[in-house]
């Protein structure tokens, strides 16, 4: 494997900001770069059209870049069809992108209604041709983000030889099935098994919500890195805690302050990017949907009930 293609420095342990549709837009990514500087960023998924010969919708083309704020940016594709995906990959590479990822994990919405995202795992026989075509089209790093299986969490083990033969550069594993969606718990004993079963770098993803948990996962499963999603939204300082630059266990006041500061900081850019206060409020509430901690409910429940943006922001001021 050519480690020079990886979007992180050889020998380092990267902390990545997960791609979360409707959440980790460019404004959010920039906030994290300014505050805690993840080692690798991911776009929300870029849809590949099977109808439009341009393949990438205009709104998604603005996402195509090699980096943001000096941090490597991985463009995540979601779609179906060898021709469609390979043509999209060529377009993305020609736009200067150096790192591409194929989404084989998303369990929701339109992505689950056809052979795209996590639903691709229902028909794994299509994968060899897709992976070969994408590898041929991508001179930089090519990775896969995947669930453990569609309905069988052991399916991943039957796919590992294919991923190795296809010369992907790294694998991001969320150890739930597609059918589980986000129910139950991510089983990182499975992550440890996968790490031992493959020569590929494996990035652990799923339910990493505290520094203590993340550091234990690093020690026990021995992944090549960690990808932080909902845990990073609920505690925007989680990257710094995992680097052991800040206390591993924040107080409730510190957690409330961190979340309030992020939401308040995002609001001005959201107002200039989105259309009207109602849409801005909806986008801010989308971030709150990632915060599942009961301990923060005294803060998050009133915010989720807010009907007006000014009411939302006024309430945030109480926590800063």
Digit-coded pLDDT (tens) for 119-160:
999 999 999 999 999 999 999 999 999 999 999 999 999 999
- What rounded mean pLDDT belongs to the chain? 93
| Whether pLDDT at 45 is above 70 | yes
| Whether pLDDT at 113 is above 60 | no
pLDDT digits (tens, 9 = 90+) for 58-112: 888 888 899 999 999 999 999 999 999 999 999 999 999 999 999 999 886 444 4
User: DSSP string spanning the chain?
Assistant: --GGGSSS-TT---EEEPP-TTTS-HHHHHHHHHHT--SBEEPSPEEPPSS-TT-S-HHHHTT--SEETTEEEEEEEE---HHHHHHHHHHHHHTT--EEEEEE---SGGGGTTTSGGGGGGSGGGHHHHHHHHHHH-SSEEEEEEEEESS-TTHHHHHHHHHHHTT-SEEEEEEEETTTTT-S---HHHHHHHHHH-SS-EEEES---SHHHHHHHHHHH--SEEEESHHHHH-TTHHHHHTTSS-SS--HHHHHHHHHHHHHHHHHHHHHHSSHHHHHHHHHHHHHTT---GGGHHHHHHHHH--SHHHHHHHHGGG-
User: For the residues 42-59, what does the mean pLDDT come to?
Assistant: 86
Give the pLDDT confidence score for residue 109 in this predicted structure. 47
Quote the pTM value: 0.94
Give the pLDDT confidence score for residue 108 in this predicted structure. 66
| Whether pLDDT at 273 is above 90 | yes
Q: Which of 27-31, 93-97, 288-292, 309-313 has the least mean pLDDT?
A: 288-292
Give the pLDDT confidence score for residue 104 in this predicted structure. 94
Q: Which of 53-62, 138-147, 267-276 has the least mean pLDDT?
A: 53-62
| Whether pLDDT at 13 is above 50 | yes
Give the pLDDT confidence score for residue 112 in this predicted structure. 43
């Amino acid at each position: 494997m050519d480690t020079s293609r990886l979007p992180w420095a050889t020998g380092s342990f990267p902390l990545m900001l997960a791609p979360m549709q409707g959440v980790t837009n460019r404004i959010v990514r920039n906030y994290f770069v300014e505050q805690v500087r993840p080692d690798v960023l991911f776009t929300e998924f870029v849809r590949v059209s099977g109808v439009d010969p341009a393949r990438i919708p205009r709104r998604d083309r603005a996402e195509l870049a090699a980096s943001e704020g000096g941090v490597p940016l991985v463009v995540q594709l979601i779609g179906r069809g060898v021709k469609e995906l390979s043509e999209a990959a060529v377009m993305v590479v020609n736009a200067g992108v150096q790192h591409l990822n194929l989404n084989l994990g998303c369990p929701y919405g339109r992505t689950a209604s056809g052979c795209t995202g996590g639903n691709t795992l229902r028909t794994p026989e299509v994968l060899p041709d897709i992976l070969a075509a994408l590898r041929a089209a991508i001179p930089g790093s090519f990775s896969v983000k995947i669930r453990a299986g569609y309905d069988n969490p052991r399916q991943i083990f039957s796919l590992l030889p294919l991923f190795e033969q296809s010369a992907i550069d790294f694998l991001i594993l969320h150890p739930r099935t597609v059918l589980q969606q986000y129910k139950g718990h991510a089983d990182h004993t499975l992550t440890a098994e996968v790490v031992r079963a493959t020569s590929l770098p494996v990035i652990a993803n799923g339910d990493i919500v505290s520094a203590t948990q993340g550091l234990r996962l690093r020690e026990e499963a021995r992944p090549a890195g960690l990808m932080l999603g909902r845990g990073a939204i609920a505690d925007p300082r989680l990257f710094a805690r995992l680097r052991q630059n800040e206390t591993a266990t924040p107080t409730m006041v510190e957690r409330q302050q961190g979340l309030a500061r992020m939401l308040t900081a995002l609001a001005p850019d959201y107002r200039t990017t989105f259309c009207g206060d109602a849409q801005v409020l909806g986008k801010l509430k989308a971030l709150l949907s990632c915060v599942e901690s009961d301990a923060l409910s005294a803060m998050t429940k009133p915010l989720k009930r807010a009907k007006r943006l000014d009411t939302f922001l006024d309430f945030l001021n109480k926590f800063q």
